[in-house]
Structures are given as C-alpha cells and as structure tokens.
Structure 1
Amino acid sequence: MASKDLIEASNDLLRRLNPKNTTENLNSLISLFRNDPTLTEDLLSDTDQPLLVARDSENREYLLCDWNRDGDSYRSPWTNKYTPELEDGTYPSDALRNREIAANQAFDVYRELYYDRGVSSVYLWNQENNDFAGVVLFKKSVGDGAESKGTWDSIHVFEAKAVPGKAKFSYKLTSTVILNMVSSGETIGEMDLSGNMTRQSGGIFDVYAADLDSDREQDRERVDADHIANIGKLVEDLELDMRNLLQEVYFGKAKDVVANLRSVQSLSQANRDRLVHQEMISSMSKR
C-alpha cells in the first residue's frame, strides 16, 4: 500500500475511535510504521491530539504540539528555549519572535477572559517574504480526580499572506476543538462523552504598512498589533460558533434521545397534549 493510502487509512481509523484515546491509538499506529520515519512525521502532523502541558526553565506552563516540536524537544513560547536543549533547533526570525511574544501576551488575556484558568500558547513560523503562519492553543481541565471531570482543547492553525499592492493581509484559519467529559456516580453510573469538531474561516483585513519593510520599531509594533487583532477576531468568532455547535450537538441531541427513551410526564398526559395540538392544527387549517 502506498504511503498516501496508509495515511488516509490511518486518519480514517483515528476518526472512528474515541478521541479521548487519540494519543494512545496514534502511538500504536506509529509503532507499525517505525521503519518509515517520513510516514511517522506525516501522521503526527496530520493528527490533532489532546494537548499536553509542560513547564519551562522559568517554571511557566506551556502547551506541547507538533508545531513547537523539533525531534524530541519542545520550544517554550515564553523563554524561546527547547527542552531538552537543542543546539540547532528551529526558531522564528527576530521580528517574528517579537510578534510571537506580543501574541502570547494578548491571548493570555483572552484565555483569562473566556476560560478563567487553563493554559494558552502561541507559536509562529516564517514563510516567504512577509507571510507567516502560526497556531493558537488553549487547554482547560476541570474536576481532575473528581466524580465529574472534563477537558477542552482548542487548536487554531492559521496562515497570513500579504495581498499584493495593498496594505492588507489574507488570513485562513482552521480550528479544531477536542472535548472530553467523564462523569461517574451511584446516581447515573458512568458516562463518557468525547468528540472533536473542525471548522474553517478566513478573511482579508487591513494591516498598517503591510507593503512596507520598515525598520522603525513603532511601525513594527503597529503591524504586530494589527495582525494580533485580526487573528484574535477570527479565533474568537469561530471558537464561539464551535462552542455553541458543540452544545447543540452534544447536549441537545442527548436531551432528545433521553426524552424519546423515557417521557418526563405520563404517557396519558403526553397523548392528551398531542391530541390538543392536532385539534388546533386542524381548526387553523379549516379557516
């Protein structure tokens, strides 16, 4: 089987398994492809896994993902250092690193507003000319070790490309939310609700001096501020839409299923209500 077919088959299998066990299932697949490093790298880059939390040399929490990984080491967005240390690790340019620092500070405020607690990380990397790409990550866990617990992982990957001849940038955003909720107790027994959702968005926004390669610090700060505001708006809007969709799909559908299994009111009352409803429809249609 060709490598492309193996990747497609692996991704299809992972989509059908419990998202809570994605990391374990992915490691099992990788063990089958251990003689093909390229296939392993492709599978790792194509698969969204629940985010892991680590601490850097300054004891600051940050999130691990494929976008801040180089070999077996991970780069902290706060210290810009790899753990374990690397002599020839991949780093953003100095200008993009300054934008990365500002983005981490801004999205840390976003995390505080929308998540209250949890961990956020932003990683950027260079592309051609003034173009760049990056990922915005959020993770929050609640009730660890209690009867009810849950985790929320948001992964927002984006590309920013300059529009030729204009002070504008085109942004493309792909967002994935991985949700896992577990509850156990004598009253309801055990419940495991896990899933993920991926959506895309984008737009063209103004960026100050987008077509200039200015060396002035004030100009660079204004460009960075515009980029962060534009990306933040896309992330905020799409994440809110996905949160509402997850609520509708998970809880709305669960409510409908339970209602069909066991009625809250007596069946006789339900039948009477249904007859009254039918009589009202009939009388309205005769007018």
Structure 2
Amino acid sequence: MSDKQYTAALDLLRRLDPDQTRANVANLISLEPELAEDLLAAVDTPLTVQKDPHASHREFLCCDYNRDIDSYRSPWSNEYVPELTEEDAQESPFPSDPLRQLEVLCNDSFDVYRDLYYEGGISSVYLWDLEDSTDGDFAGVVLFKKTNVGGEWDSIHVVEVTAADESRAVYNYKVTTTVILQLRSEKQNGLALSGNLTRQLERDAPVAHAAGDSIDAVHVSHVANLGQLVEDVESQTRNLLDTVYFEKTKDVLQQVRLANAHTAETQLNKKQHQDVIRGLQNL
C-alpha cells in the first residue's frame, strides 16, 4: 500500500455521504485489501451491536478496538463473539488481570452514567495495556450508542492514562472524542443530517494511594477521573453542536426558505402581470 493510495482513500471518504461511511469503507477495502487495517483504524464509523451468548445475550458495542479477525471481545464475559478457534484465542489480545478488574468496574460505572445521561442506549468500555510503558499505564475506549426513530448518536472516547511523575500520585489523562451524529426526519423525503465531530482534552488528576498496596483504591480513582473527563468532553461537544453547527444549519435552512418564498412571490407577480396584459389585449 502506498501513502498516495491511503491519502486518496481518506480524501474520497471526506467527499462522500457520511451516512454511508461504513459501506464506503467496505467498498474501498474490497478494491484495495491492503488498505483495510489503516482505514479501519483511521476512519470512525457508527458502532455496531452484538449480543454476548456467555452473558445472558447482553448487548455490547463493537469497534476496531475490541476486534480480532472477524470477532469482537465482549466486556461482560471477556470472550470473543463469534467464538475464536483455540489457536486464534491464544494469540488474541486480552487485558492483564489487574486491568481486567478495572475494565469490569469501568463498565459497571459507565453503565450508570449512560442510564443517567442518555436515558437508554448501550455503553461498553475496553482497556488494554500499553507497550513499552511502566506498570499502571494503560489505554482504552469508552463507547456510547443511542438510537431512536429520529436518528443515532455514537460517541467514541479513546483515552490514554500515564503516570505524570515517579510517585504515581498524579496521572495524565488524554481523551480523543469523536461524535457521529445522524438525524432523520420522520416525514417522507424529509431532511437528513449526518456528520462527525472530533475534539481532544487533556488534564492531570490525583490518584488515591497510587504508591500503596490498595489496588481497589487506585481503580476507583481512575474510574472517577475518567468519568469526569468523559462528562466534560461530552458536555463541550454537545454545546458546540448546539450553539455552532445546529445554529448554522438553521441559518442555512432559513435562507433557503426565504429564497424559495422570494422565487414563488416573483413567479406570482409575473403571472398576475401577464394576466393584466392579456386582459388589456382582449379589450
């Protein structure tokens, strides 16, 4: 794969209907399979949903961060769905035992957050150990999806957590948030809006007993810090969508309505003028 092909593929995706991003990515991969890994990692597509047969068919969200081959790891059972072969499962990525404990706590906590803020939908959290990093550093992704008859909201929060000093009393938290929004009118041939917005946020926060022997206290601190970070960046993103993008869309629609009204009025005046001329000619 050449950089030219990769750049051209990304450039093409920016110009195509964002509502069809998943299909467009699949088509590009079928044309050039070598682009698959890079495109799937670089292009954010709406989250898909699977059911975990190992956890009472509970739903979980799927993205490139919990995918291996054609299967997705469930945060509830830590198993891949569909099930991998024994050989593939041995080579598949899993979080370390301490990180898996934190992942379980994160999923339980963000499930409460989802219920309070989204009043429905699905949430999933996946964590993984960072390569060539000191003990305690990790990365992960927090996912939310809400669907109704009026559209879909997908938010993807990719986080990286590293110690800010040797004492490990303070950690640095970085988050890159992407919101994929699709709005549809219920009326036939109604208006449809699709797009995505990406923002980043970074801050340092203390971690309780980071140098002590209480791993539970460390996990609780991480969950609280991540929760505050996600809450803040989602609030900023929602405000930005509401005050900038939605307001701009309203202005554009208003201008279109005024232009259409002016055109209709002009046509009416022209018809009335023609009627007057025709009437005078008949005198």
Normalised TM-score (structure 2): 0.83
Is the contact made by 1:169 and 1:210 (CA closer than 8 Å) also made in structure 2?
no
Of 105, 109, 126, the match for 1:102: 105
Counterparts of 1:22 and 1:42 in 2: how far apart (Å)? 15
Cross-structure match for 1:73: 71
Corresponding position: 1:4 with 2:3:
yes
State the 1:211 CA deviation.
4.2
Corresponding position: 1:122 with 2:118:
no
Is the contact made by 1:179 and 1:195 (CA closer than 8 Å) also made in structure 2?
yes
Aligned to 1:185, the other structure's residue is in SS state: coil
State the 1:184 CA deviation.
4.0
Q: Percent identity?
A: 51
Cross-structure match for 1:154: 155
1:66 partner amino acid: D
Cross-structure match for 2:165: 164
Counterparts of 2:10 and 2:243 in 1: how far apart (Å)? 26
Deviations 1:126-153 (A, max 9, x none): 012221000000000011xxxxx20000
Counterparts of 1:5 and 1:198 in 2: how far apart (Å)? 24
Deviations 1:71-114 (A, max 9, x none): 11100000100012223221100000000000000000000011
State the 1:40 CA deviation.
1.4
Corresponding position: 1:220 with 2:221:
no
Corresponding position: 1:21 with 2:37:
no
Gaps of at least 5 residues in structure 2 are 263-283
State the 1:257 CA deviation.
2.1
Counterparts of 2:23 and 2:255 in 1: how far apart (Å)? 35
Counterparts of 1:243 and 1:183 in 2: how far apart (Å)? 20
Deviations 1:35-64 (A, max 9, x none): x2xx31111111111000110012100000
Is the contact made by 1:140 and 1:152 (CA closer than 8 Å) also made in structure 2?
yes
Aligned to 1:7, the other structure's residue is in SS state: helix
Deviations 1:134-175 (A, max 9, x none): 0000000011xxxxx200000000100112323111111100
Is the contact made by 1:165 and 1:211 (CA closer than 8 Å) also made in structure 2?
no
State the structure with more CA Rg.
2
Counterparts of 1:229 and 1:9 in 2: how far apart (Å)? 41
Cross-structure match for 2:233: 238
Aligned to 2:39, the other structure's residue is in SS state: helix
State the 1:9 CA deviation.
2.3
Is the contact made by 1:75 and 1:81 (CA closer than 8 Å) also made in structure 2?
yes
Corresponding position: 1:55 with 2:55:
no
2:173 partner amino acid: Y
Normalised TM-score (structure 1): 0.82
1:205 partner amino acid: A
Counterparts of 1:66 and 1:81 in 2: how far apart (Å)? 16
Cross-structure match for 1:139: 145
Aligned to 1:44, the other structure's residue is in SS state: helix
How many residues were matched structurally? 249
Counterparts of 2:126 and 2:73 in 1: how far apart (Å)? 9
State the 1:236 CA deviation.
0.6
2:10 partner amino acid: N
Cross-structure match for 2:177: 175
Counterparts of 1:169 and 1:160 in 2: how far apart (Å)? 7
